[in-house]
Structure 1
Amino acid sequence: MGKHLNATERRTARVRRAIRAAANGRPRLSVFRSSKQIYAQIIDDAAGRTLVAASTLEKDMREQLRTGATVEAAAAVGKLIAERAVKAGVKEVVFDRGPFIYHGRVKALAEAAREGGLSF
């Protein structure tokens, strides 16, 4: 018997399944958005490890931003994750929005990461 998933878990699984099909060995840029912060990490699913990560909880980000729950904060995290990824040698990723719609803070992070040099 299968386990029952709530709507968020079903949406996450659906997005993750589509990403796995389209990945072709590329790492995954995973985004998590809470009500107060936003987090991003680039994950190598083949090796099962995180390559780079960035969030609004980092010390320099907390000093620079008023709050972690704005579009400006998400854009700053997007630029930071792109900068760290390029430095680590990652140029192409697949975007994993999780259960979140591509709008607002998630969209701002993605567009800033693209401007920073990531391709997806």
Structure 2
Amino acid sequence: MALTKRQLFLRRRSRTRNRLRALGGGKPRLSVHRSNKNISVQLIDDAQGRTIASASSLEKDLGIVGKNNVEAAAKVGAAIAERAKSAGVTEVTFDRGGFIYHGKVKALADAAREGGLTF
């Protein structure tokens, strides 16, 4: 029986999260969410259950409202790297969720690495 796109997405997401839980080493998790219109990212401390920093393409000060492309994802990645460094975080684990590491997700990760985050 063939699986639906949603079922495949949920399998990828659970596989990714379980692997991060096992190998994360207590580092904060850089969690990405991508929709058809926006991209957002959160820096989450799972031990305390709180969000350290976040960035989204919906923020007006980034100047990319209404755009969802690779350039917008790169700006969001640079913004989260800057906010993470100001919060004192340099090492994270990258949680792509169920999204394939390609295109916008890859651009966000590369921009975050260039901004000073290591993962």
Fold match, TM over 0.5? Answer: yes
1:98 aligns with 2:97: yes
Map residues 1-120 of structure 1 onto 2, 5 A cutoff: 6-61=7-62, 64-65=63-64, 67-120=66-119
1:6 & 1:102 partners in 2: Cα distance?
A: 18
Q: What SS does the corresponding residue of 2:111 show, helix, strand or coil? A: helix
**Cα-Cα RMSD:** 1.3
- In the alignment of these two chains, the number of paired residues is 114
Provide the identity percentage. Answer: 61
**What amino acid does structure 2 have at the position aligned with 1:117?**
G
CA contact (8 A) 1:68 1:74 kept: no
**What amino acid does structure 2 have at the position aligned with 1:81?**
I
1:66 & 1:31 partners in 2: Cα distance?
A: 18
2:34 & 2:67 partners in 1: Cα distance?
A: 10
1:8 & 1:103 partners in 2: Cα distance?
A: 14
Q: What SS does the corresponding residue of 2:47 show, helix, strand or coil? A: coil
2:32 & 2:94 partners in 1: Cα distance?
A: 8
**What amino acid does structure 2 have at the position aligned with 1:17?**
N
> CA offsets per residue over residues 19-69 of structure 1, 9 Å max, x none?
1111101000000000010000000000011000000001212xx226431
Runs of 4+ in 1 over 6 A off after TM superposition: none
Unaligned runs of 5+ in 2: 1-5
Unaligned runs of 5+ in 1: none
2:28 & 2:55 partners in 1: Cα distance?
A: 15
1:76 & 1:28 partners in 2: Cα distance?
A: 19
**When the two structures are superposed, what TM-score results if normalisation uses the length of structure 1?**
0.91
